Amino acid sequence: MIRLDNISKQNGSRLIFIEASAALLRGEKIGLVGPNGAGKSTLFRLITGQEPPDEGQILIDKKVSIGLFSQDVGEMAGRSAVAEVMDGAGPVSEVAAELAALEAAMADPEQFDRLDKILERFGEVQTRFEELGGYALDAKAREVLHGLGFSQEMMEGDVGRLSGGWKMRVGLARILLMRPDVMLLDEPSNHLDLESLIWLEQFLAGYDGALLMTSHDREFMNRVINKVIEIDAGALTSFSGDYEFYARQAALNEKHQQAQFERQQAMLAKEIAFIERFKARASHAAQVQSRVKKLDKIERVEPPKRRQTVEFDFRPAPRSGDDVANLRSVSKQYGSKVIYEGLDLLIRRKERCCVLGVNGAGKSTLLKLVTGTTTPDAGTVTLGGSVKMGYFAQHAMDLLDGEATVFEALDAAFPHAGQGALRSLAGAFGFSGDEVEKRCRVLSGGEKARLVMALMLFDPPNFLVLDEPTNHLDLATKEMLIKALATYEGTMLFVSHDRHFLTELSNRVLELTPEGIHQYDGGYTEYVARTGQEAPGLHT
């Protein structure tokens, strides 16, 4: 359906692709992977014709429809979420808009004298709407929005009043409703909660077109894709299989290439030593000459080009008392919406509690109550002895000093740490080389999240409260974080929609339900086994 044939692309002085080739065939579901800045978004722009390649060509079969979802969803305002989603389906959306306008006109007393004309036009437009399958499309649009977590009220409300994350869901719903021959999805798993993520997996499993997507959620990738294309150092390499297969195969390939490189280096060293030793002796002139010619002809094996994840050993956290946080008879409501009533909860030392619950169940509110960011309407929240808390919330990223560089932010927080330690900390969180000189105001959401995490974990607290800590992290940083937190000796309370993160780090589950908190000893894996569901309100 789509073929990339020897494409080369350069941005300024940076080479993105060098004579790279790959193909996307009918029915293939491909995960696009590679380090940050490798060129994943550039590849999407090349396929959709937003940018041309410098060399080579992109061949797309005739009449193939392509739908692109990117993080930049543009301006949305003045229409309902349903109308915005149906807009992606072509002419039917214009007919739907006219139908809505005519319905409003019929109910307008000021237009009563035109009622006959309005009714006549309404009949014509309604017939056209039915011919285009409009009523079925409206129902499908609502089904997709519901799957992505929208309430009826949100579907009908002005899309302009939604937050950036919810607008992204509207943008994603447009592409899903369109069901093009090829879907290009750039980070569709961002901004989704666990329920929506699982719904999206099931939707994509039933989608019969071709799919090319990026995602920082390895579990999501494993459930959806059947092929991986890796971008690294300008090349495109294809692997058949899911993400786990790709990770094993890529590590194996790297090991083989390293061994080949080392063998060749040893052989070259021996040959060069022989030449150096005997080049001045006339008796060995023929042998020396023959070996020089042989060396010139040898094709050099390159060392592996895949980048290693930087590891960082975090200091041990100081010990806290056995009771870390205690909530007694806590009640909390916003307006008429009751979130908690008479809640009792004790969090003990070394527990790693993950909080699960449908949208609006009060996951973030629980974290805010524990951290003192919000106060209960009734009851008490007390922290135990020697508790030193670290709280990661989305708003923490807004508190960074925009004029400070990454290194200055770290240095200001830890003035007694050596330059080497701070640079190694920055490297572990994805700021290598000159990237530590970037000012905070130009950092992307992901970079800000990594910096806030680095500031929090360098001198670790013994009680970590994390609200969606992996939202903006790439796969490599996420793996490093999971590895570091696996050996963390303190207590954790966290909300995450990343099942790999939940599986690896939780040892207790707090499920928020309308009847109160259901508590499960054992981690997320045991919760799934005992309840038969991966998220509250969804059955596997």
DSSP of 199-214: HHHHHHHT--SEEEEE
Residues forming a β-bridge with 55: 8
Q: Is the CB of residue 426 less than 8 Å from the CB of residue 414?
A: no
Say if residues 215 and 75 touch (Cβ distance below 8 Å).
no
The pTM for the full model equals 0.80
- Distance in angstroms (rounded) separating the CA atoms of residues 535 and 331: 25
* Residue 451 buriedness (CB in 10 A; 0-12 / 13-18 / 19+): buried
The torsion defined by the Cα of 444, 449, 451 and 455, in degrees rounded to 10, comes to 160
pLDDT along the chain (540 residues), means of 10: 92 87 93 84 91 93 89 80 82 77 86 87 87 82 94 91 89 90 92 91 93 93 94 90 90 86 89 86 83 86 66 80 95 91 94 91 93 95 94 82 92 90 86 88 84 88 92 82 88 94 95 89 93 75
**Residue 129: partners with Cβ closer than 8 Å, 6 or more residues away:** 92, 95, 96, 99, 135
pLDDT at 312: 65
User: Dihedral of the CA atoms 167, 172, 175, 179 (nearest 10)?
Assistant: -140
The reported pLDDT for the residue numbered 178 is 84
- Which DSSP letter does residue 318 get? P
Task: Determine the Cα–Cα distance for residues 416 and 369; give it in Å rounded to an integer.
Answer: 33
Distance separating alpha carbons of residues 73 and 341, to the nearest angstrom: 39
Decide the pairing of beta strands 389-392 and 463-467.
Answer: parallel
Dihedral of alpha carbons 186, 188, 191, 194, sign:
negative
- Residue 91 CA to residue 89 CA, distance in Å, equals 7
Read off the tokens for 63: 């009449």
Q: Residue 469 corresponds to which tokens in the numbers above?
A: 């800590």
CA-to-CA dists, residue 286 to 77, 271, 289, 362, angstroms? 81, 14, 5, 83
Residue 448, classified by CB atoms within 10 Å of its CB into exposed (0-12), middle (13-18) or buried (19+), is buried
CA distance 540 to 538: 7
Q: How far apart are CA 525 and CA 391, in angstroms?
A: 25
Give which of 524, 529, 497 is closest to 200, Cα–Cα.
497
CA–CA distance, 414 with 67 (Å, rounded to integer): 47
Segment (H or E) for 185: strand 182-186
pLDDT score for 539: 44
Tell me how far apart the alpha carbons of residues 463 and 349 are, in angstroms, rounded to a whole number: 8
| CB contact at 8 A, 29 and 210 | yes
